[in-house]
Structure 1
Amino acid sequence: MNQNIKAHKTIGDNIQKGRKEKGLTQEQLSAQLQVIGCDISRGTLAKIEAGIRHISLEELNAIKDVLEMSYDEILKL
């Protein structure tokens, strides 16, 4: 069963903040996610950050790991 977290602008903003704190572009984060087996393109990442695309639990876990963020940091509204 594929679980998704509803798209939300604040969650996207939290991911974008974490990415920028790491000094990564969307392209660089996308590449790092792909290396660990999470196939997210730069465009998909942009949609997640904009709050217009749902995020799967697999994607959330991968983003959390690469950005070294907690679930609370990503999901806080």
Structure 2
Amino acid sequence: MNKDNNNKKIQHEEKRVIEKEICDVQKELAATLEGFENVVDPDLVDYYSYSYKATEAKYTYLIKKLKTLYRK
């Protein structure tokens, strides 16, 4: 029983950490999008495009990981 409670506490903490990471990534996506909208240098357009795509991949990964934890 104690082991089960310990596992639940660990899962709860993992969920909390991932939820915070998701929040941080959402802010990063918003900042990247804002930068993209305001950029005039063509080289920076590429930078913001790649940065947004990479951050989006991280967001997708974290969402999948969180869903997996909630299904346990």
The alignment's TM-score, normalised by the length of structure 2, stands at 0.32
Structure scoring higher RCO (CA < 8 A, sep ≥ 6) equals 1
Bigger Rg, which one? 2
User: Which has more helix, going by share of residues?
Assistant: 2
Under a length normalisation based on structure 1, what TM-score does the superposition of the two structures give?
Answer: 0.30
Higher relative strand content: 1
